[in-house]
Amino acid sequence: MILAALIVIPLLAAVAVAAGAPARLTSLAAAVLNAVLTVAALMAFKTGEVGYQLAATLFTVLPSPDLKLSVGVDGLSLVMVLLTALVSLGAALASPSTVARGSLRLYHASVLLITAGAMGAFVSTDLFFFYAFHELALIPTFLMIGLFGTGDRRTAAWKITIYLGLGSLILLAGLAALFLNLGGTTFDMAKLTVAAQTTPMAAGTQSWIFLTLLIGFGILISLFPFHSWAPQAYACAPTPVAMLHAGVLKKFGLYGLLKVALPLLPLGSQSAWVLNLLLFALLGNILWIGLVTIAQRELDLMLGHSSVMHMGYIFLGIASHHLIGLTGAVLLMFAHGLSIALLFFLNGVIRSAAGTTHFDRFGGLAKQAPRLGLMFGLATFASIGLPGLANFSGELLVFFGAFKNVAAGGTLWLPLATILALWGVVMSAVYGLRAYRSIFMGQPGANPATVPDLTTTGLLTALVFVIPLLLLGFFPNLLLDLVRPALAALHG
């Protein structure tokens, strides 16, 4: 019942906020409660056991086809729940107590709905609700970006809505085909996995369905060349939405690939032509978007692009089809979720104080705002993969996994792609460090923008992200032990 509560609490809080409860207090209370419950779920979870734990069926929607609202977690989904709980706590802390336009209640209710949807998607053990909960974010995101965003917010809101709408429909078509080819009688993920093992589909069918899912999920993850919605949307979105979207919702697509596409379509996901397409696309993410990121002169757009770029590594981990690479991908998903959410939070602090994020307007900010500088530095270092922070271990494992696959007789394009992808690390360092230097180091330019230091709340918000990043940087096994059995079970 803990897992059901994780969905219900934000939903109830959203209703309460809409009905007139104090908005910021309610959403904060819901986020804290959810974080506590997540810790309780972590305590109750038995590491190393295979299969869904804390499982419960809330009610049966349809007897035929077998469609239930049921929840449960394995190591993989638990990690995603933890990520959601942390980012939504940060987002709740970062949400304002007054807004310039629109209604504050709408603001907080939307953030809560997005949180509830993400939680629901990660704890559902039914394919239908896994999909359905993710879509809960669609309308709140549209409203939030269009109403409370900055810059060219309306264009950005349309773009993200139509892109993600189309992506989720392609995904839906793929899931429908998957459901039908696995017997067409149940949406239960555990039963579908059994069906996939006992009565495997033809390899050709698998490839086509996998490609459809890859495009559908890929649009949601901003896989090259379906990425162009992401940077603009993130740059224009209000801070909590950018944090939740870049930090959590984008991971939904990756989670879907790991949890649904790979285990249910083992032959399709390893068929050479699909894999080569994926390698091409992920190199687009890393190299092409990496160069585009370097060219950015504004912090919010740079962060938006960098979050697109980093998806490439996670895809590389998935493409490796090796347990090491897959665990690395999950660690990287978690670490990237935290680091990008923190960066978008700090970006929001800078933008709301200075009214701009253009590099030319800043300089030497570390003197004015040392706490902000420290946190931003840590987040940047995490994001570019410096040792001691969680992202490093993730990237390392991804690269190891990709090379291991070759040793195991995988496709020869993979090492080539991996070697090319390694250059992305250099690019990350270039744009990350340059952004840090131009904002926080050196001398303020002409007409400098002033930014006050982080408040206590701000510091607290940053620590929500920094502590796990450091902890996992030194002890990645805390997370890997949780994930490894689940991935091993899913991927044989």
Partner 1 sequence: MPAYFLEIAIVLLGLGLLMVDAFATTLDRRLLGHLGIAGVAAVLAGLVFGVDSSASEPLWGFYATDTAALFYKGLALVCTLLVLVLALEYAPVLESYRDGRPGRRGLGEFLCLPLFLCAGLMWMASMTDLLGLFVALETVTITFYVVVAYMRRNLGSLEAGVKYLILGALSTGFLLYGLAWLFGLTGQTNLAAIQTVLVDWKGDTTPLLFTMALLMVGLSFKVGAAPFQFWIPDVYQGAPTPITAFLSVGSKAAGFIVLIRLLEPLLASPIRHAVLLMLGVLAGATLIVGNLAAISQSNFKRLLAYSSIAHAGFLLMALAAGQPAGGVSPNGVVALYLGTYLVMTMLAFAVLVIVRKAGGSDELTAFNGLSQRSPFLAFALVLAMASLAGVPLTAGFFGKFFSLVLIAGAGQWALLTVAVVAAACGFYYYFKVIRCMYWNDPVSEAPPLVFSQLTRVAIILLCVAVVVLGVYPKPLTCLLAP
Which 3 state secondary structure label does DSSP give 66?
Answer: strand
Segment near partner 1 (CB under 8 A), from 164-172, 258-266, 309-317, 361-369?
A: 164-172
Peptide bond into 225 cis (omega under 30): yes
Sole binder of partner 1 in the list 90, 146, 337, 363 (CB under 8 A) = 146
Rg (CA), the chain: 21
> What is the end-to-end Cα distance of the chain in Å, rounded?
29
Residue 433 in contact with partner 1, rule: CB under 8 A: no
Q: Closest distance between partner 1 and the C-beta of residue 166, in Å?
A: 4
Segment near partner 1 (CB under 8 A), from 45-53, 178-186, 195-203, 385-393?
A: 178-186
Q: Closest distance between partner 1 and the C-beta of residue 130, in Å?
A: 10
Residue type for position 190: A
Residue 204 in contact with partner 1, rule: CB under 8 A: no
Which 3 state secondary structure label does DSSP give 47?
Answer: coil
Residue 135 in contact with partner 1, rule: CB under 8 A: yes
Among residues 47 and 185, whose Cβ is nearest to partner 1?
185
Q: Closest distance between partner 1 and the C-beta of residue 232, in Å?
A: 17
CA separation, residue 480 to residues 111, 209, 245 (Å)? 30, 30, 24
Measured distance CA(11)–CA(346) in Å, rounded? 27
Residue 177 in contact with partner 1, rule: CB under 8 A: yes
Segment near partner 1 (CB under 8 A), from 159-167, 239-247, 256-264, 271-279?
A: 159-167
Long-range contacts of 175-182 (CB under 8 A, 24+ apart): 175/127, 175/131, 175/213, 175/260, 177/209, 177/212, 178/127, 178/209, 178/213, 178/260, 178/264, 178/265, 179/65, 179/127, 181/205, 181/209, 182/264
Residue 45 in contact with partner 1, rule: CB under 8 A: no
Closest CA to 164 of 232, 91, 235, 222: 222
Q: Closest distance between partner 1 and the C-beta of residue 62, in Å?
A: 6
Sole binder of partner 1 in the list 162, 194, 203, 426 (CB under 8 A) = 162
Residue 19 in contact with partner 1, rule: CB under 8 A: no
Q: Closest distance between partner 1 and the C-beta of residue 262, in Å?
A: 21
Scanning residues 74 to 113, which ones bind partner 1 (CB under 8 A)?
A: 102-103, 106
CA separation, residue 19 to residues 13, 93, 100 (Å)? 10, 21, 21
Q: Closest distance between partner 1 and the C-beta of residue 184, in Å?
A: 4
Which distant-in-sequence residues (6+ apart) come within 8 Å of 148 by Cβ?
99, 101, 102, 107, 238, 241
Handedness of CA 317, 322, 325, 326 (dihedral sign): positive
| Helices 456-474 and 75-94, packing angle to 10 deg | 160
Site string for partner 1, 323-342 (x = CB under 8 A): --------------------
Handedness of CA 105, 111, 116, 121 (dihedral sign): positive
Sole binder of partner 1 in the list 47, 155, 185, 276 (CB under 8 A) = 185
Segment near partner 1 (CB under 8 A), from 34-42, 173-181, 266-274, 416-424?
A: 173-181
Sole binder of partner 1 in the list 150, 161, 206, 461 (CB under 8 A) = 161
Residue 59 in contact with partner 1, rule: CB under 8 A: yes
Residue 16 in contact with partner 1, rule: CB under 8 A: no
Which distant-in-sequence residues (6+ apart) come within 8 Å of 426 by Cβ?
none
- Residue 189 has a CB neighbour count (10 Å cut-off) of 22
Q: Which two tokens stand for residue 34?
A: 């959810």
Q: Which two tokens stand for residue 338?
A: 């935290």
Long-range contacts of 383-386 (CB under 8 A, 24+ apart): 383/306, 383/310, 383/336, 383/339, 383/340, 383/343, 383/428, 383/432, 384/425, 384/428, 384/429, 384/432, 384/433, 385/425, 385/428
Residue 48 in contact with partner 1, rule: CB under 8 A: no
Segment near partner 1 (CB under 8 A), from 78-86, 136-144, 330-338, 386-394?
A: 136-144
Site string for partner 1, 376-415 (x = CB under 8 A): ----------------------------------------
Residue 143 in contact with partner 1, rule: CB under 8 A: yes
Segment near partner 1 (CB under 8 A), from 154-162, 238-246, 345-353, 393-401?
A: 154-162
Residue 169 in contact with partner 1, rule: CB under 8 A: yes
Residue type for position 80: M
Among residues 120 and 473, whose Cβ is nearest to partner 1?
120
Scanning residues 215 to 244, which ones bind partner 1 (CB under 8 A)?
A: none
Q: Closest distance between partner 1 and the C-beta of residue 17, in Å?
A: 12
Tell me which residues touch partner 1 (CB under 8 A): 18, 59, 61-62, 64-65, 69, 102-103, 106, 131-133, 135-136, 138-139, 142-143, 146-147, 154, 158, 161-162, 165-166, 169-170, 172-173, 176-177, 179-180, 184-185
